[in-house]
Amino acid sequence: EIVLTQSPATLSLSPGETATLSCRASQSVSSSLGWYQQKPGQAPRLLIYDASNRATGIPARFSGSGYGTDFTLTISSLVPEDFAVYYCQQRSNWPLTFGGGTKVEIK
Amino acid sequence: EVQLVESGGGLVKPGGSLRLSCVASGFTFSDYTLTWVRQAPGKGLEWVSSISSTSYFKYSPDSLKGRFTISRDNAENSLYLQMDSLRAEDTAVYYCARVGMTTVTDWYFDLWGRGTLVTVSS
């Protein structure tokens, strides 16, 4: 099973700042990594697929990068609705697995 | 409106059974692979099971095989999860999710329901 480790667990930032979230895989997943956003009481929403592709309707301030075992989600110029929990997910190997999440909170 | 709506959650005793349902609308249900993902209270996401568009392929992690059974009825636009021998650690919100249809979105989840809460407790 591929283990995805997200860091930091919590990121405290102010609106307008840039958030940099990390996801590290226990073995290579090539580019087969996605990112989701989840707000309290809501279902997750797909943001990024295959490491760097924005899903339909996702604002350009969300960007993804990485390959192999190290991936980054960058949120430029945070706005209030971006404060949420973010999860990465790999589709390279069975079973499909998610990271433990990074909470982006208002400082 | 494109949506997935889950139902069937509730309180069940350890060792009991429960059947979850998910009804889809606004898209061609029979074209898509569907999935169940769960989230224990205050915890992260865990993939539970997936079923291909024609039900030919079913996937689940080894840890859940034998207790959870996924099925679907394309005529009713419905997805199901039969859960048997339930344990306290199965307590979670269970989400129904749609798998992306293209090769680059395959096995990412591009549409989610709001979830249904399953509580396993005596």
The shortest C-alpha distance from B95 to chain A (Å) reads 8
- Please indicate whether, in this complex, the C-beta atoms of A53 and B100 are within 8 angstroms of each other: no
The shortest C-alpha distance from A84 to chain B (Å) reads 13
| Other residues' Cβ atoms within 10 Å of the Cβ of residue A28 | 15
pLDDT tier, B66 (very low <50, low <70, confident <90, very high otherwise): confident
Q: What is the pLDDT of residues A70-83, one digit of tens each?
A: 999 999 999 999 99
- Please indicate whether, in this complex, the C-beta atoms of B100 and A94 are within 8 angstroms of each other: no
- Reduced 3-state DSSP string for chain B: CCEEEEECCEEECCCCCEEEEEEEECCCHHHCCEEEEEECCCCCEEEEEEECCCCCCEECCCCCCCCEEEEEEHHHCEEEEEECCCCHHHCEEEEEEEECCCCCCCCCEEEECCCEEEEECC
Q: How far is CA B61 from CA A1, A4, B37, B48, in A?
A: 10, 16, 11, 7
Whether B65 shows a pLDDT value over 90: the answer reads no
Respond yes or no on whether the N-terminal peptide bond of residue A8 is cis (omega within 30° of 0). yes
Whether B35 shows a pLDDT value over 90: the answer reads yes
Eight-state DSSP code of residue A15: T
- Please indicate whether, in this complex, the C-beta atoms of A97 and B105 are within 8 angstroms of each other: no
The shortest C-alpha distance from A2 to chain B (Å) reads 12
Decide: A43 and B94 in contact? Cβ < 8 Å. no
Q: Give the pLDDT confidence score for residue B63 in this predicted structure.
A: 87
Mutate to test the interface with B, among A96, A98, A102, A103 (most CBs of B within 10 A): A96
- Please indicate whether, in this complex, the C-beta atoms of B107 and A96 are within 8 angstroms of each other: yes
Q: Which of B59, B104, B114 sits opposite A50 (nearest CB)?
A: B104
Q: What is the pLDDT of residues A24-55, one digit of tens each?
A: 999 999 999 999 999 998 999 999 999 999 99
Contacts of A101 in chain B (CB under 8 A): 44-45
- CB–CB contacts below 8 A, A to B: 55
Mutate to test the interface with A, among B39, B107, B114 (most CBs of A within 10 A): B107
Whether B106 shows a pLDDT value over 90: the answer reads no
